[in-house]
Amino acid sequence: MRITAFGDSLTAGYGLAQDQGLVPQLQAWLSARGHDVRVANAGVSGDTTSGGVLRLDWTLADRPDAMIVALGGNDLLRGIDPALSRANLATILDRLAAEGIPALLVGLPAPGNYGPEFQQAFDAMYPELAQAHDALLVPDLLAPIQAQVDAGRPATTLMQADMIHPNPDGVALVVEGLGPAVEALIARVEEARGS
């Protein structure tokens, strides 16, 4: 089974050794749990939801069985209107549904510095899109890191120096949080195949 991880620098493994990024750590986690799955890294650092729409054809040419859609972080950093981000993600999810490719939508929470309206619109986007498109949902990719920080662990032990991208230990926490949802995605593919 082929799962494509379609995202930005958090997916691509920015700043990390090749075997320490999200995709290789997720691959190892799934393999250790007995899943015969290949996770392809379609993460592009700096990519926005608009960029995701533009490279969707090329990504789907590999015929994935399922897709993890983890875009929106760079839209946030650039203060892009959440209505545009939502429309782009809807376009991606519509295309996956049309091709019969189960999707796991992975979000991030908006910070408060763009104002409450922006924050509300952005934060509502992921759960509403997942529901509308029958996609699985992980509302906050970095929640496992935030939970550790809230419990008193220094963020510097889990993040790279830019405090945006997780270090290998942070990625390991993210994978533990993401893994069960990916297992649910695998189950959807197997159900659709009738196996």
Which domain CATH number covers 74? 3.40.50.1110
Domain span at residue 38?
Answer: 2-193
Query: φ and ψ at 71, to 5 degrees?
Result: -125, 155
Structure tokens, 121: 């619109």
pLDDT of residue 195: 57
Cα 108 to Cα 31, 125, 159, distances in angstroms: 26, 10, 16
C-alpha 69/C-alpha 3 separation (Å) is 11
- Its pTM stands at 0.97
Phi-psi region of 17 (alpha: psi -120 to 50; beta: other; left: phi over 0): beta
Cα 10 to Cα 68, 94, 131, 195, distances in angstroms: 12, 23, 24, 32
Catalytic center residues: 9, 162, 165
pLDDT of residue 194: 84
Query: φ and ψ at 163, to 5 degrees?
Result: 60, 20
By the 8 A CB rule, do 169 and 158 touch?
Answer: yes
pLDDT of residue 193: 87
pLDDT of residue 58: 95
Helices (H), the chain: 9-12, 22-32, 49-54, 56-60, 73-78, 82-98, 116-132, 143-150, 168-193
Task: Give the chain's residues under pLDDT 50.
Answer: none
| Adjacent-strand bridge partners of 41 | 5
Number of domains in the chain: 1
What share of the chain in percent tops pLDDT 90?
Answer: 97
- Return the half-sphere exposure (C-beta side, CA atoms, 13 A cut-off) of residue 180: 4
C-alpha 135/C-alpha 173 separation (Å) is 23
pLDDT of residue 59: 97
Span 137-156, pLDDT tens digits: 999 999 999 999 999 999 99
pLDDT of residue 157: 98
pLDDT of residue 54: 98
The sign of the dihedral angle between the CA atoms of 117, 79, 106, 92 is positive
